[in-house]
Amino acid sequence: MPLITNPILPGFNPDPSICRVGDDYYIATSTFEWYPGVQLHHSRDLVNWRLLPQALNRKSQLDMRGEPDSCGVWAPNLQYADGLFWLIYTDVRRYDGNYKDVFNYLVTASSIEGPWSDPVYLNSSGFDPGMFHDDDGRKWLLNMVWDHRATKGGSTDPARLFHGIVMQEYDHAEKRLVGPARRIFHRSPLGMTEGPNLTKHDGWYYLTVAEGGTGYNHAVTHARSRDIWGPYELHPDIHVITSRHAPDWPLQRAGHGQMVELPDGSVYHTHLCSRPLRGPDGTRRSPMGRETAIQKMYWGEDGWLHRSSGRLEPDVTVEAPNLPPAPVPDLPTRDDFDAPRLSPVFQWLRTPERDRIFSLTARPGHLRLYGRESIGSWYEQALVARRQTDFRYTASTTVEFSPRSFQQMAGLTAYYARDRFHYLHVTADDAGNRILSIQACVGSYPDYKLQFPLENDILLPEDGPVHLKVEVDRNTLQFFYATEEADWRSVGPVLDASILSDEAGKGEHGSFTGAFVGMAAQDLTGQVLAADFDHFTYEAG
């Protein structure tokens, strides 16, 4: 019996929205501050998934410069109707404190690989919008509503910030919302209700929501109604997927997903999850962030969806559907930057003006990074990286860089956010000598400061390539360098890799992305000194 192994999309791939078009299945996931926006994958058997180009790839669709870490694109919703793909997404510009400044948009495309249209602005009342296309052709927008009054009276209950799910009709001809916006569902006893998806089956409207926050109390909740406006009654079990009562379960933080019905009537349900590492003190940290998994469901005699396994906790292995096997090529372990476009495995941060931070044509066969702002900038930093998708991996690159100042840097970084990274870089000392150094920021929020773990910087040859490597083994990280190829030497102490996680820094409800590894360049003098990277290699194990 063929099996699905979870997570199906390893590494930072949260908030999965699944869509079937004939025999093809697509999943859209959140990208937050990483550009281009909205990660897309394709499968024909629900077992093997191929990475597609991201959807939001130009300034008119998305410009996140200045947006803090863990803002940007939240919870995309992918649908197919009327011969078009419909993609709804939130651009979050502030998320801390009582207020969330959010903007919800719609883009469409005739092909999943685009081009996607310029966005239609929808509303700003809350985040996690979803579109439902009813049988009569009417279209409905659902989103949670954020209530900034939650602390009134001295309350500290975070569930009060979540005011429930509202719905409003969308007129596609006029490209605007019409009619009243009404709350159709408030919450289960768990609360913190978000991530709405609506579907119709056997005359019932089924509402799927995420609840419990995106930490270890996360859950998928179902409700239904005969009338689209409600009232919606809760599922007899309330939640259909959660790990909240099983702290040692291998897949934790399970929630926020969507059901999909196959041509034979079988049903599967996506959800996010994480695979936390345990520290010596019992601390749980998830360097790969929230990943995408899928579970098999069935329609019960009571008309509700139930887990085929009979339990709420998500399974690591799941019976695959009765579909022809459709393997996809493995992602290459090495990129020599010979193509004119960057592979979709790589992303960068916030800016739509990619030509200002990198080029693949300025020096063919190399990725040229133009040194811009600091590695912690929210505006314009030259950092190109890929997701960590394995507990153990080795990544390496070769850089040619001739700094003249200590303010000019380029190298290899394992990166989560401005307050959590390790960075092995070529720079210069006060005498102008080329040296190798390490910066680290370990997420001691809010008082985070740079650390310099390398006791004595390493003097490098005046010119020539420098080979850089990082080895990560679960909670540990070790840098290496070489000036002659394959003559690797360890550099600096063993570092804490677990700080590159959601739970480090502000804690499990404060960050929402995942660990990346890649190449970076800074020029704090403003002279835009370039660094050329000959290749990038990522190998699991």
Cα–Cα dist 382/174, whole Å: 40
Rounded alpha-carbon distances, angstroms, from residue 171 to 107, 139, 168, 179: 14, 7, 10, 10
Nearest Cα to Cα of residue 21 among 154, 143, 112: 112
N-term to C-term CA, the chain: 27
Is the distance from CB of 33 to CB of 64 less than 8 angstroms? yes
Rounded alpha-carbon distances, angstroms, from residue 111 to 21, 78, 116, 321: 11, 12, 8, 25
Is residue 233 annotated as part of the catalytic site, yes or no? no
Nearest Cα to Cα of residue 465 among 421, 428, 434, 437: 434
| Residue at 531: amino acid letter | A
Structure tokens at 57: 């790839």
Cα–Cα dist 75/85, whole Å: 16
Cα–Cα dist 235/220, whole Å: 11
Rounded alpha-carbon distances, angstroms, from residue 66 to 33, 50, 265, 332, 441: 10, 32, 46, 33, 20
Cα–Cα dist 246/434, whole Å: 52
Cα–Cα dist 281/481, whole Å: 32
Nearest Cα to Cα of residue 537 among 471, 458, 455: 471
Cα–Cα dist 108/145, whole Å: 24
Cα–Cα dist 116/109, whole Å: 5
The one catalytic residue in 380, 503, 508, 539 is: 380
**Beta-carbon neighbour count of residue 239 at 10 Å?**
21
Place of tokens 């800016």: 351
Structure tokens at 183: 């709350």
Backbone angles phi, psi at 189, to 5 degrees: -60, -25
Nearest Cα to Cα of residue 58 among 352, 356, 357, 384: 352
Structure tokens at 485: 């190829």
The conformational region for residue 404 under phi > 0 = left, psi -120 to 50 = alpha, else beta, is: alpha
Nearest Cα to Cα of residue 514 among 94, 5, 7: 7
Is the distance from CB of 53 to CB of 345 less than 8 angstroms? no
Cα–Cα dist 211/199, whole Å: 18
**Beta-carbon neighbour count of residue 175 at 10 Å?**
11
Rounded alpha-carbon distances, angstroms, from residue 322 to 22, 26, 46, 326: 15, 18, 10, 12
**Beta-carbon neighbour count of residue 272 at 10 Å?**
31
Structure tokens at 308: 């085929």
Active-site amino acid positions: 380
